């Protein structure tokens, strides 16, 4: 059986996607979850793991939720990142 990826690995994957999409496309949590499950494979990465990874990113302040008609995950504003 394939070894499951860690929360940290998924969080890094999500962070990279959000960073690469900054200023180009707003990503919803479901977009990121689907992408991670596809990237790592469903046998290694579950939706619950992605949820935990998103929570890690939010609690650490590396990503923030934004609202523009719907909720998205984005990088925090620059002044917050510097802090």
Q: Is there binding between residue 64 and other proteins (CB under 8 A)?
A: yes
- Looking at the Cβ atoms of 1 and 69, the one nearer to other proteins is 69
Radius of gyration of the chain (CA): 13
Indicate whether 46 belongs to the interface with other proteins (CB under 8 A).
no
Least distance in Å: CB of 16 to other proteins?
A: 20
CB atoms closer than 10 angstroms to residue 43: 11
Q: Which two tokens stand for residue 45?
A: 């990465």
Which of 71, 79, 81, 83 binds other proteins (CB under 8 A)? It is 71
| Residue 70 C-beta: closest distance to other proteins, Å | 5
């Amino acid at each position: 059986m394939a070894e499951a990826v860690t929360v940290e690995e998924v969080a890094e994957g999500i962070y990279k996607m959000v960073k690469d999409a900054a200023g180009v496309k707003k990503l919803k949590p479901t977009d990121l979850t689907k992408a991670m499950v596809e990237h790592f494979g469903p046998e290694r990465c579950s939706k619950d793991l992605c949820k935990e990874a998103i929570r890690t990113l939010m609690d650490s302040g590396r990503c923030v939720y934004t609202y523009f008609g719907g909720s998205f995950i984005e990088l925090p504003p620059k002044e917050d990142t510097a802090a």
